[in-house]
Amino acid sequence: MLTTDDLVKKIVNFKFDEVKRLLPSRDIRVIIGLSKAMQSSNYITENQSRLLLKILNNHRDQIQPLHEEISDVLQVPTWNKSFRRIEQKKLLKITKDVHGDSYLTIEVFYAGEIKEFLQQLMKQLSDIHPSTTPGTFRFPFTEKNIVLAVEVLSGKKFEIDADILDHYNVIKSWGRDEIESQFLITSMTNQNFQKMVSDEIGAIEPLDKNIINDRRLRYQYSSDFYEENPKNLTEIIANRTHEHCWVDSNEHTLDAVFDSMQALQRMPILLIFDSYDQAHCLKNLQILSEIFEKNGITEEIGIYFRLQNNDTGKKFNQLIAEKKYNYPLSATTKIAAIQNGKIPKFFLKNTWTPMSVISLGNILKYNKTGVFASNCDLIVSYTNTKPMEPVRPKWR
Q: What is the pLDDT along the chain (396 residues), one digit of tens a residue?
A: 789 999 889 888 888 888 888 899 999 999 999 999 999 888 998 888 999 999 999 999 999 898 888 888 899 999 999 988 876 678 899 998 888 889 999 888 766 667 777 778 888 887 777 677 777 888 899 999 999 999 988 888 889 999 999 999 999 998 877 777 777 777 777 777 777 777 776 665 666 889 888 988 888 888 878 888 889 999 999 999 889 999 999 999 999 999 999 999 999 999 999 988 999 999 999 999 999 999 999 999 999 999 998 999 999 999 999 999 999 999 999 999 999 998 999 999 999 999 999 999 888 877 889 889 988 999 999 999 887 755 454 333
- 372-375: long-range contacts (C-beta < 8 A, 24 or more apart)? 372/343, 372/347, 373/270, 373/272, 374/243
Task: Give the whole-angstrom CA distance, residue 384 versus residue 251.
Answer: 9
CB neighbours of residue 284 within 10 Å = 21
DSSP structural state of residue 134: T
Give just the sign of the alpha carbon dihedral 161, 167, 170, 174.
Answer: negative
Largest CA distance in the chain: 98
pTM for the whole thing?
Answer: 0.61
CB neighbours of residue 188 within 10 Å = 16
Task: Give the whole-angstrom CA distance, residue 80 versus residue 43.
Answer: 10
Q: Which amino acid belongs to residue 283?
A: K
Q: Where are the alpha helices (DSSP H) in the chain?
A: 4-13, 16-22, 25-38, 46-58, 60-63, 70-75, 112-124, 143-154, 162-173, 176-182, 191-201, 209-214, 216-219, 233-238, 254-263, 278-294, 311-323, 345-349, 368-373
Task: Give the whole-angstrom CA distance, residue 197 versus residue 193.
Answer: 6
> What is the pLDDT at residue 19?
86
Letter string b/e over residues 332-363, b meaning 16 or more CB atoms within 10 A of that residue's CB:
ebebbbbbbbebeeebeeeeeebbbbbbbbbb
